[in-house]
Amino acid sequence: MLTDTTIKSTKPKEKPYRLADEKAMYLEVMPNGSKYFRMKYRFEGKEKRLAFGVYPETSLRDARDKRDQARKQLAQGIDPGENRKAMKAAQMADGETFEVVAREWHGKLQANWTPEHAERILRRLEADIFPWLGK
């Protein structure tokens, strides 16, 4: 388990390396000395990673809070990475856009579908509908 003292004392190496925290979160130390909080998770059989911020701008406590929120979303059947993208798209738009609403709709209904069907629907929306309609 990481501590603030451990994080401060880590030194960069030739290649990026990871220091494990708990519950799939880790600190990735880059050769240039930057330190990133990340979490590895699986959603619909695929391994994914989620970034929580750069140390020291993001504290260990904040990163753990973000990790806990992501784990709650996973428990509810929501992909935290896709949810973050949808939220970011919503913030960028003046109001609710079709893409934001469609991604929310997909996120709510994908638990009722097979993983293949959910992926096919999202892929079709991203390839055919969103580019054609725009924001």
69-100 pLDDT, tens digit per residue, is 999 999 999 999 998 888 877 676 656 678 88
Nearest Cα to 37, choosing from 111, 91, 49?
A: 49
Domain for residue 76, yes or no?
no
Q: What pLDDT, in 10s, does the model give residues 97-127?
A: 788 888 888 888 888 888 899 899 999 998 8
Q: What pLDDT, in 10s, does the model give residues 36-48?
A: 999 999 999 999 9
Cα gap 7→3, rounded to integer Å: 6
Do residues 47 and 24 share a domain? yes
Domain for residue 111, yes or no?
yes
> Which residues span the domain enclosing 96?
81-133
Domain for residue 47, yes or no?
yes
**How many domains, the chain?**
2
Domain for residue 44, yes or no?
yes
Domain with residue 16: its CATH number is 3.30.160.390
Do residues 127 and 92 share a domain? yes
Do residues 65 and 112 share a domain? no
Q: Is 77 left (phi over 0), alpha (psi -120 to 50) or beta?
A: left
> In the numeric block, which tokens belong to residue 46?
């695929």
Q: Is the dihedral of CA 121, 124, 126, 128 positive or negative?
A: negative
Do residues 47 and 23 share a domain? yes
Q: What pLDDT, in 10s, does the model give residues 23-34?
A: 999 999 999 999
- What pLDDT is stored for residue 115 in this prediction? 87
